Structure 1
Amino acid sequence: MASLSVTLNLLRPCSIAPKPSPSLRFCDVRNSASSYCSTSRRLALFHLGSALPQSQILGAKASQLLRGEGKPIDAAPIADLAQAGAAIAQEDALEWVKNDKRRMLHVVYRVGDLDKTIKFYTECLGMKLLRKRDIPEEQYSNAFLGYGPEDSNFTVELTYNYGVDKYDIGTGFGHFGIAVEDVAKTVELIKAKGGKVTREPGPANGGSTIIALIEDPDGYPFELLEKWPTPEPFSQVMLRVGDLDRAINFYTKAFGMELLRTRDNPEYKYTVAMLGYGTEDNSPVLELTYNYGITDYDKGNGYAQIAIGTDDVYKSAEAVRLSGGKIILEPGPLPGINTKITACLDPDGWKSVFVDNIDFLKELE
């Protein structure tokens, strides 16, 4: 059976490839969503409330007014009723999100030497190589790594595009967080393997948790956190945003994440917010950082997206729209494998992909 990871890589930007290739023409979904979606497949957009009778949405009297029964129709009340119906539909969509069975599946980013990165992650960070595949017709390879099976753990999806050995990480991406038993011992191992340490082990600024900062072979920053034991060592993805309140509102409403905590650090002029689908000790979290006075960041072309499981990609897309996000790949089954997905951008332009839960498990078989 074809792998979901193969098709999801159709969404990856490859703007610095050494030469044009027809097989990579759909890599930047923001520029090519319309052409990608024109392939021969049927997409059904789900609009909450649209299948309900008017009498249920607006009430019996409102339905009579809309049909013109009795007195002449007054345009102002009808407009008010339409707004009320839209408000009900929005409330239903956002309420559904709260009960959706969601979890963070994996995070996708691009590397210049796949084997070198796999070696670093397995030997220095203790990850396991879960699966690997080469797709020569599409000019890329990918590998999944993590600390447990993909059906229950948050994992890394590494993508190597043929001929591209370097990517721009940009200023918007922050770091990945990895929980380890002993930060100092892990740092010594990384040094012995030739890894780069950018912050020696010590207490976090304004806290007591022992941390260290390192970089992988491509320069992606990792924060090592001394907290053990934990069922989910791959614990954080940190992204920088230009408006923290706006970002929190979006991820709690559209993504159904819970705001776990916020922390303001005026000495270093930044504020962070932790959001997720469980506690920080037991599940991965999205760490959003606002640096005082900075509203825009360069996102580069290395980091790609987070994939999130959902019971319904159509409803998920509707909730994103209602919350101020942008759909860049309409919800529906992917050609060839019928896995249903939808892709979106948050208000800061960070990309995420929602994947149907049942379809995802089938892809892992």
Structure 2
Amino acid sequence: MGTKPHPCRNLHWVFKVGDRTATTRFYRDALLLEPLRHEEFTEGCAAACNGPYDGKWSKTMIGYGDEDTNFVLELTYNYGVKSYQLGNDFDSITICSKRVYDNIKAKGVGKAGPDGALEVAAPDGYRFRVLSQEPSEGACPMTELRLHVSDLDKSLAFWSGFLGFAAERPAPGQALLRCGPQQCALRLVELPKEEALERGTAFGRVAFACPGEQLQPLEAEVRAAGYTVHTPYVSLDTPGKATVQVVILQDPDGHEICFVGEAGFTDLSRRDPAAGRLLDEAVAADDSAAWFRKRAEAEARMAANGV
């Protein structure tokens, strides 16, 4: 391949969230993440950033530090969509932070997992592994994104052979991929042969930045190699902010991989000091907490009546 995305930076993972009130409370109070920017949109994204939905939606970037040096999370909320079906495509995100570990332990919301980790799930079911240790110097506390794959050799042919990510084989049926030093690693874990990979409706997306001039040649070579382009090259506008160049690919299992132009994304992703306030105002105006409360009350009445 002539155009490997380089230099490349691992940016974020996208979660679709249903109960925005409970979800944002969990990320802030349990995982101690901070809102970095919050944006509201009146119609669906041209690159399906919010999934296959055309209506009003919001995006909240949340993390442990600025997006230009940290791997963060993107929470997308589609108004009127209150839940999503989990698949088995996403496994977990690993966080190395004694502060977060101690906080989860004090709240009693985690359970003991392997390697001394505390395992905890967000309200939408997304899993996190928290270790009582600090990341290596200069690295983000979110150290690893784990995804399931159906055929590890095919996945490695794409991620390492085609895209050029450095690969290690730390254990049978696993591969650890990096696109640069001190970045959040991508761990691919092969499912048992009898278990099919399911993406459900909650499927996420991983994003990377690379020089913008590489995106169109990358798209052309993806097509020539017989791999899948999910979204052809497009420029996305965020009201009042930067325009970002985007190409979205799919690996052999359909995992979505968004490559964005570094310059535009760096401009777009500047931390907004008002992010927390904007998020709180959007949640209050949406009144999602009342919706969930009414639904829970209705379900309780039906259960009491034996319905």
Q: TM-score of the superposition, structure 2-length normalised?
A: 0.75
| Deviates further, 182-191 or 283-292 | 182-191
| Superposition pairs of residues 225-244 of structure 1, within 5 angstroms | 225-230=131-136, 231-244=139-152
The answer to whether 1:173 aligns with 2:90 is: yes
- Native 8 Å contact 1:344 1:352 kept in 2: yes
Q: Higher Cα Rg: structure 1 or 2?
A: 1
1:190/1:299 CA distance change after superposition, 3 Å: farther
2:57 aligned partner:
140
- Native 8 Å contact 1:250 1:323 kept in 2: no
Amino acid at match of 2:245: K
Please state whether the residue corresponding to 2:171 is helix, strand or coil.
strand
2:284 aligned partner:
none
The superposition leaves residues 274-312 of structure 1 with CA deviations (integer Å, 9 ceiling, x where unpaired) of 111235xx3201111113314631111113211111112
Structure 2 stretches of 5 or more lacking a match?
44-54, 271-307
- How many residues are aligned here? 252
1:200 aligned partner:
112
Identify which of 219, 222, 246 aligns with 1:317.
Answer: 219
| Deviates further, 144-153 or 180-189 | 180-189
| Superposition pairs of residues 23-34 of structure 1, within 5 angstroms | none
Please state whether the residue corresponding to 2:35 is helix, strand or coil.
strand
1:223/1:319 CA distance change after superposition, 3 Å: farther
- Native 8 Å contact 1:254 1:319 kept in 2: no
- CA-CA distance at 1:116 after TM superposition: 2.2
- CA-CA distance at 1:229 after TM superposition: 4.1
Q: TM-score of the superposition, structure 1-length normalised?
A: 0.64
- Native 8 Å contact 2:31 2:104 kept in 1: no
- Native 8 Å contact 1:239 1:287 kept in 2: yes
The superposition leaves residues 34-93 of structure 1 with CA deviations (integer Å, 9 ceiling, x where unpaired) of xxxxxxxxxxxxxxxxxxxxxxxxxxxxxxxxxxxxxxxxxxxxxxxxxxxxxxxxx4x1
Identify which of 107, 117, 140 aligns with 1:211.
Answer: 117
Separation (CA, whole Å) in 2 of partners of 1:179 and 1:310: 26
Separation (CA, whole Å) in 2 of partners of 1:146 and 1:355: 19
1:160 aligned partner:
77
- CA-CA distance at 1:160 after TM superposition: 0.9
- Native 8 Å contact 2:117 2:131 kept in 1: yes
Identify which of 173, 196, 208 aligns with 1:296.
Answer: 196
Separation (CA, whole Å) in 2 of partners of 1:184 and 1:284: 18
2:283 aligned partner:
none
1:229/1:177 CA distance change after superposition, 3 Å: closer
1:256 aligned partner:
164
- Native 8 Å contact 1:306 1:352 kept in 2: yes
| Superposition pairs of residues 342-357 of structure 1, within 5 angstroms | 342-357=247-262
- Native 8 Å contact 2:30 2:100 kept in 1: no
1:200/1:287 CA distance change after superposition, 3 Å: same
| Superposition pairs of residues 1-365 of structure 1, within 5 angstroms | 91=1, 93=2, 96-97=3-4, 100-137=6-43, 138-181=55-98, 185-191=102-108, 195=109, 197=110, 199-201=111-113, 204=114, 209-230=115-136, 231-264=139-172, 271-279=173-181, 282-294=182-194, 296-311=196-211, 312-334=214-236, 338-365=243-270
Separation (CA, whole Å) in 2 of partners of 1:188 and 1:364: 32
Structure 1 stretches of 5 or more lacking a match?
1-90, 265-270
| Deviates further, 318-327 or 353-362 | 318-327
Please state whether the residue corresponding to 2:18 is helix, strand or coil.
coil
Please state whether the residue corresponding to 1:358 is helix, strand or coil.
helix
- CA-CA distance at 1:341 after TM superposition: 0.7
Q: How much identity, in percent, do the aligned residues show?
A: 27
Separation (CA, whole Å) in 2 of partners of 1:158 and 1:183: 20
Amino acid at match of 1:227: Q
Separation (CA, whole Å) in 1 of partners of 2:154 and 2:103: 37
Separation (CA, whole Å) in 1 of partners of 2:65 and 2:169: 27
- CA-CA distance at 1:186 after TM superposition: 3.8
2:49 aligned partner:
none
Separation (CA, whole Å) in 2 of partners of 1:300 and 1:213: 22
| Deviates further, 160-169 or 251-260 | 251-260
1:324/1:243 CA distance change after superposition, 3 Å: farther
Separation (CA, whole Å) in 2 of partners of 1:214 and 1:244: 27
Q: CA RMSD in A?
A: 2.2
Please state whether the residue corresponding to 1:213 is helix, strand or coil.
strand
